[in-house]
Structure 1
Amino acid sequence: MKQPSNDDFRHILHIVIFFLLTFGTGFLPPVGITAMGMNILGVFLGMLYGWTFIGFAWPSMICLVALGFTGYADPGKIIGSAFSNPAVLFTIFVLAFTTYCDKSGINTVMAKWCLSRRIFAGHPWLFTASVLTGTLIIGFLVDGVPAAFLIAGILYSMFRDIDMKQGDNYPAYLLAGVYMAGVLSFACKPWAGQNLMGITALADISGGAAVIDNLSLIAIAMPVSIATLLLYTLIVRFVFRPDISHLASLTPEYLDSMSAQIRVGRKQGIAAAALVIFLIVMFLPNVLPAGSAAAAFFGKFNMVVAMVVILGVLSFIRVDGEPVFDFHDCSSGINWNVIWMLAASMPVSAALSSDGAGLSRVLSDILQSFVSDGSILLFLIGFMIFINVMTQFTHNVTIVLIAVPIIWNLGQSTGINPVGFSILMLLAAGAAYATPAASTVGALSFANGEWVGMRRAFKAGISGCVAAIFCMLVLGLPLVSAIIGL
């Protein structure tokens, strides 16, 4: 009879701890939050522990069901809402689409084109910084989610072409940086996520006296985000020090030969057209005149609708007697670890932020305690760090809506500019990618066990957050002072 190994004992121990956290936390005395909040907190802690030490699929399943017995909502409704969430639906469709792009050969074409630029010959870190900055810009113009999937798909082809393998450090940290750039692209958009909620909340509470204009937020957030990615590149180069010999050995002659191999056939052309059309449909609502018929029409094409239409059209286009897109064939690229992680994180985060959990009140009290008679600058630094840490575990919209009234009241009592302060707070809340629960795009790094891995995802995420806070203080503060004033 085979004796259990140490790995078996560790696995069993992790499972026991997972169940104790998930179902046992609620029996502890409530500490500042409600009894329901303690049960929800247990589900959240169990989910985070399970993702870190066990896996993604079955801990997510257990936690979704467990959430239904906390008093928050019916289990069936929770599971239904989890898989009807637009981010989850889009991820399912876009993973099938990126698999189609890979099978069509367009990813290989784009990878060879990007990699064969002579400017990158002998400059692997320039290539790294260019990939991350390019992801940020594409994510800003279109959306961070498809940008991250698109760039990652191209990189997979590139890694295969230069004989980089799963488990190598450089691909892991580059992909983690791509997901990071996707998250930061949202922080640069005044019309996205927590930024829109924060801008609206500040305007409401100030009666229109304190308004964050779009141009000022972009002018501050974009340089800070680019600087964060450049600093992350330096951290990877000088701290993590991955093997880059495959990139460093690319000579101009080799790059020229790679460029000569690029061939775009009919299938690649159709895939490229589909990709361009998707990006255009995502971009048009941002530039069309508000209130116009065209803006209203294209405004109906959110990410899910646009992707479903494109996949539907591709399904009836035929080349050589066969449809160019076969959903059954391309479904092999759907990573269910990613799907289950996203599906579980959405309702658990919403429950944790609900009024019935009481966590919002506790966070508000903690933030209020930061206000003191000490140095405003030290308070601002501590406040930003606290906001960033909390967004790694709590929905950033919740944090933003709690922080805005505190910032406004502080501005009234100390004379500090609530507009500039709020922009820095929004930046701190937007740089959330240090844990699997921090953000939708950032979670992809932790779910990508084949190329990134949990350990390297944590190292990359924490390093990226440190880089973000540093850049906010060193670059963001002077920019806010120069553009808006503090």
Structure 2
Amino acid sequence: MLLFKYIPPIGVVTKMGMEVLGIYLGLLLLWSTVDVIWPSFLGLILLGFSGYSTVPQLITTGFGNVTNIYIMLIFMFAYFVTKSGVSNILVNSIISLKFARSRPWVISFLFLFAAYFVGALVSMTPACVIVWTIFTKFAAEIGYKKSDAYTSYMIVGIALSGLMGFVVFPFRLPSTLIIGMAEQAGYTVPFLSYVIIAFCIGFGTVILYLLLGRFVFRPNVENLKKEYSFGELNGMTRYQKQIMFLVVLLIALLIVQSTMGTTFIGSILTQLGTTGIVLVILMIMAFLKRSDGSPFADLVDAARNGVSWSVYFMLTICLQIATALSDSELGIGALISSFLEPILGTGNGGKIAFILLMTFLTILFTNFMGNNPVAIIFYSIAITYCGKSNVPTALMVSVIGICANASIVFPSANPIAAIMHGMKDWVNAKDIYKYSVPLSIAVWVSASVFCLLLGGKLF
């Protein structure tokens, strides 16, 4: 981290470029093995002393960046959705459908879809934890036990379904991080186009995994033909209906802002921006009172308990270092391009190879390192090479953000993976690797196929 500036420059990389690269690699190591917050502060200070910028400038642009504020507000909004209990009701409603009874692979699909659906509407953590809880209760009731092939298969599948659902909208990490960087660089990622490609990749992966289970892994599913009752489902309270309405409203406003910017309402939403839209929703929630006179939403509570401050602090340096890495004067982008040129070639062959390679490497490295750093690394490469390979930059930014969240193999890759590895009563590490590695390949196949088939039409 500190000694890189003393290493002779590699190729076209400048001395300052070597120093910035050293800071970046040091941050990746510390983020993956030690902590998030203090290494981020250290990286900001070191970058300020590198000559690239100054510490006061980095603090101003880091903490005041609109992307950071947007992510903080989204965390606060998601906190109210989770706290209200809406996600529990949604999951129980999905997996208790009568047409699925005694049909093993329909039941399996509904569990995976439940995790995907709640991950999309709320967050990946409640999606996975809630569906895991309901599934293990269900599995025990019908006679499954620890390390049975079917339970291990489903626990891994639920994890990735929640992760894929989480990134179906572009205001979720790591997608929102690199989309923000792309927009700062002058590119536009259409909201609806992102949602379509993210849905196709995520849902395509779920279907591929079910096919792998049905025809390749072939776990024993006879127990699923037994009768099981989920009990009576309680309807939503008035408060929960109001929260659900706000979730739908937020998504609708973001779609209108992205696709109907020339209309009267669209122009107002464009002036607000995505951050302003969330801010208005939270303002309304804070203004309203519940029927008993209590606050509809306590923003202080949400800021205290809903915001992942470690992520926020990491973003203060992430945006700065990514900008530095892509600075043409430092030569890092040119070096990456020179390495990729012989591999990827040019023309259509280069385009296909570029998409296959970028999706594969993103999925590979995100299983060893944090999602956000991996997204930043391959975002930097995409910005450099998309034009040469005739791939829309907005498409590649979207797909990188989606693939960077497919981290389920090792416990260090993602909090969801860590929780899954800790479920010792139901699954062991050997079985997690048995199912998660092929599932990661399924993500790669799905991402590559839909990128090639739909990318040119959507972006």
TM over 0.5, yes or no?
Answer: yes
Percentage of identical aligned residues: 20
Of residues 226, 230, 248, the one that matches 2:207 is 230
Conserved? CA contact 1:36–1:72, under 8 Å: yes
Residue in 2 that maps onto 1:399: 381
Q: After TM superposition, list the pairs within 5 Å mapping 1:106-145 onto structure 2.
A: 106-121=86-101, 122=104, 123-131=106-114, 134=117
Partner in structure 2 of residue 275 of structure 1: 247
Amino acid at match of 1:178: G
Q: Which amino acid letter does the alignment assign opposite residue 52 of structure 2?
A: Y
Q: TM-score, normalised by structure 1?
A: 0.66
- The structural deviation recorded for 1:426 is 4.1
Question: After superposition, what is the alpha-carbon deviation per residue over 1:149-169, rounded to whole angstroms, capped at 9, x for unaligned?
Answer: 4464454444455567xxx97
Evaluate the alpha carbon distance shift between residue 445 and residue 285 of structure 1 in structure 2; reply closer, same or farther with a 3 A threshold.
Answer: farther
CA distance in 2, matches of 1:50, 1:342: 15
Q: Does 1:30 align with 2:3?
A: no
How many residue pairs were aligned?
Answer: 406
Give the letter aligned to residue 318 of structure 2.
Answer: S
Partner of 1:350: 323
Change (3 A) 1:299 1:65: same
CA distance, structure 2, for counterparts of residue 281 and residue 377 of structure 1:
38
Distance change (3 Å), C-alpha of 1:132 and 1:382: farther
Distance in 1 (CA, whole Å) between partners of 2:16 and 2:418 is: 37
**Which of 310, 314, 329 in structure 1 is aligned with 2:281?**
310
Contact 1:37-1:358 within 8 A present in 2 as well: yes
Q: Corresponding residue for 2:158?
A: 174
1:325-374, Cα deviation, whole Å (9 max, x unpaired): 1123332132223323333322222221112321111122223333669x
Where in structure 2 are the equivalents of 1:178-193 lying within 5 Å? 178-183=162-167, 193=179
Q: 1:384 aligned to 355, 367, 375, which one?
A: 355
Partner Cα distance (2:127, 2:375) in 1? 31
TM-superposition CA deviations, 1:287-327 (whole Å, max 9, x none): 43x52222101223433222222222112222212102112
Partner AA of 2:92 in structure 1: K
Determine whether 1:360 maps to 2:360: no
Give the 3-state SS of the residue equivalent to 1:263 in structure 2: coil
Label 1:363 to 1:451 Cα distance change in 2 as closer, same or farther (>3 A).
same
Does the 8 Å contact 1:314/1:324 carry over to 2? Answer: yes
Q: Aligned partners of 1:347 and 1:24: how far apart in 2?
A: 20
Distance 2:289 2:244 in 1: 16
Residue 470 of structure 1: aligned partner: 445
User: For residues 217 and 100 of structure 1, what CA distance do their matches in structure 2 show?
Assistant: 25
- Whether contact under 8 Å (1:396, 1:429) holds in the other structure is no
Aligned-pair distance for 1:227? 2.8
Whether the 8 Å contact between 1:337 and 1:447 is mirrored in structure 2 is no
The residue number in structure 1 matching 2:141 is none
Cα deviation for residue 65 of structure 1 reads 2.1
Counterpart of 2:48 (choices 62, 65, 68) is: 68
Q: Distance in 2 between matches of 1:447 and 1:46?
A: 21
Tell me the CA shift for residue 423 of structure 1: 5.9
Q: Partners of 2:451 and 2:375 in 1: how far apart?
A: 24
Query: Which residue of 2 is the match for residue 12 of structure 1?
Result: none
CA deviation profile, 1:203-236 (whole Å, cap 9, x unmatched): xxxxxxxxxx999999988655643443356679
Give me the whole-angstrom Cα distance separating, in 1, the residues matched to 2:45 and 2:113: 43
Cα 1:158–1:435 shift into 2, 3 Å: closer
SS at match of 1:76: helix
Aligned in 2, Cα 1:112/1:309: closer, same or farther, shift over 3 Å?
Answer: same
Query: 1:88, CA displacement in angstroms?
Result: 2.5
**Please, which runs of 5 or more residues in structure 1 have no aligned partner?**
1-21, 136-145, 202-212, 408-417
Judged with a 3 Å threshold, the aligned counterparts in structure 2 of structure 1 residues 317 and 249 are, in CA distance, closer, same or farther, namely farther
Q: Contact conserved, 2:85 with 2:240, CA < 8 A, in 1?
A: yes
Q: 1:237 to 1:34 in 2, by over 3 A?
A: farther
Q: Which residue of 2 aligns with 1:263?
A: 235
* Aligned residue in 2 for 1:48: 28
Scaled by the length of structure 2, what TM-score is found?
0.69
Question: Per the alignment, do residues 322 and 132 of structure 1 end up closer, same or farther by CA in structure 2, a change over 3 Å counting?
Answer: closer
Structure 2 CA distance for partners of 1:124 and 1:336, relative to 1, 3 Å = farther
**Matched position secondary structure for 1:324:** coil
Q: Could you report, residue by residue, the CA deviation over 1:158-191 in whole angstroms, capped at 9, with x for unpaired residues?
A: 4455567xxx9766763444334554766xx9xx
Q: Does 1:430 align with 2:414?
A: no
2:5–2:22 contact (8 Å) kept in structure 1:
yes
Whole-angstrom CA distance in 2 between matches of 1:25 and 1:102: 44
- CA offsets, 1:440-484, max 9 Å, x none? xxxx9735686367999x97998666434434666766x479x99
How many angstroms apart in 2 are the aligned matches of 1:131 and 1:78? 42
Counterpart CA distance in 2 for 1:334 and 1:194 is: 19
Distance between the aligned counterparts of 2:450 and 2:42, measured in 1? 44
Instruction: Give the aligned partner of residue 205 of structure 1.
Output: none
Confirm or deny: 8 A CA contact 1:173 1:452 kept in the other structure.
no
Q: Cα gap change, 1:173/1:39 in structure 2, threshold over 3 Å: closer, same or farther?
A: farther
Alpha carbons 1:111, 1:155 under 8 Å: kept: no
The answer on 1:338 being equivalent to 2:311 is yes
Spell out, residue by residue over 1:410-442, the C-alpha distance to the aligned partner (whole angstroms, 9 max, x if none). Answer: xxxxxxxx5xxx269945972356668x99xxx
Residue 145 of structure 2 corresponds to none
Q: Counterparts of 2:5 and 2:220 in 1: how far apart (Å)?
A: 46
Shift of the 396–372 alpha-carbon distance from structure 1 to 2, 3 Å rule, reads closer
Taking a change above 3 Å as real, the CA distance of residues 468 and 100 of structure 1, as seen in their structure-2 partners, is closer
Aligned partners of 1:70 and 1:240: how far apart in 2?
Answer: 53
Structure-2 separation of matches of 1:384 and 1:399: 12
What is the Cα deviation at residue 31 of structure 1?
Answer: 0.8
